[in-house]
Amino acid sequence: MSQTRHVPVMLQRCLDLLAPALQDPAHPEPVVVDCTLGLGGHSEALLAAFPTARLIALDRDKEALRLSGERLAPYGERATLVHAVYDELPEVLARLRVPRVQGVLFDLGVSSMQLDEADRGFAYAQDAPLDMRMDQTTGIGAAEVLNTYPPGELVRVLRQYGEEKQAKRIVSAIVREREREPFSNSARLVELIRDALPQAAKRTGGNPAKRTFQALRIEVNGELSVLEQAIPGAVGSLAAGGRIAVLSYQSLEDRLVKQVFAAGAANTAPPGLPVVPERYQPRLKLLTRGAELPTDEEVAENRRAAPARLRGAERIREEER
């Protein structure tokens, strides 16, 4: 598989957001964390743009680590690649004896490599085994979810993680079909969804299987529960003056990031205090007005950038320990 196809999303804007923290004279050898290494596009750009920075990069996918390891090899000891899920960041930093970092980047969602390799089962546009695990060494795949979850649980997954209005209709068809023959490949599921949906639902929002595939992927990888831990953990790892940038691709992720950033930027003092003590002051300053979107030019160049939403924040105060 060619690495040249992979175009990192909103790359320059991410670099610009993190630059003040990674070029601060107070930290001549800053540490920046790429929590979602993937094919290493963002990581390579960070190492090139900030020549004194040390990179720590995480990925749960061993194949991504192997490919990125080759790509980042010229940077030698400046790059430390770790097999870990991004909610494990505090533990990873403790193991590496790194107390605080100056920058953190998340590029959420499925990596280009996982989408482009048909046998991983992430893409609904080509037939493949229904796996969808980002770390293929652990957990259950999408086929097992489809074949074993009770109907009510499947409806919850499709509604909650796929925001699928036709969840009941789709699940009824899945339950009927899995009794006849268990699911193993994506094409059969795509066809079933097309047949199950009313005509009106098929006319909007692209491929009708998109929301179901998103829901299964989030369920298989525990993405939202991991993210709920990961964003506060990353904010807690930042030094004062450190910055975090998060790229998300669907509303559930973006909403979660927005909530964590908004809570960090809020004054938590009880009402009516004449002077607000330090511990109640905001910990974060928001760096983006709402979520920033990719430019039309970028979307034209890289269609996977289209749903991207970028939020950034700066740590303005560390907790008193």
Say what the pLDDT of residue 7 is.
75
Q: Is residue 6 part of a domain?
A: no
Range of the domain at 242: 11-113+223-315
The CATH number of the domain where 84 resides is what? 3.40.50.150
Phi, psi of 122 (to 5 degrees): -80, -30
- pLDDT above 90 coverage of the chain, percent: 64
The CATH number of the domain where 128 resides is what? 1.10.150.170
Q: Which of 200, 221, 242 is the last residue of a domain?
A: 221
Say what the pLDDT of residue 227 is.
92
pLDDT tens digits for range 10-54? 999 999 999 999 999 999 999 999 999 988 999 999 999 999 999
Q: Is residue 70 part of a domain?
A: yes
Q: Say yes or no: 109 and 228 in one domain.
A: yes
Contact 31, 56 (CB under 8 A): yes
Q: Considering only the C-alpha atoms of the chain, give the largest distance between any 2 of them, rounded to a whole number of Å.
A: 70
Q: Is residue 5 part of a domain?
A: no
Q: Which of 156, 191, 221 is the last residue of a domain?
A: 221
Q: Say yes or no: 210 and 151 in one domain.
A: yes
The tally of domains found in the chain comes to 2
Of 54-63, 117-126, 186-195, 197-206, the poorest mean pLDDT is in 117-126
Say what the pLDDT of residue 260 is.
96
Phi, psi of 245 (to 5 degrees): -125, 130
Which of 207, 177, 209, 216 lies closest to 193 in space, CA to CA?
A: 209
Q: Say yes or no: 236 and 87 in one domain.
A: yes
Q: Is residue 321 part of a domain?
A: no
Q: Say yes or no: 98 and 176 in one domain.
A: no
Between the alpha carbon of residue 277 and those of residues 135, 235, 268, 272, the distances in Å are: 45, 21, 10, 12
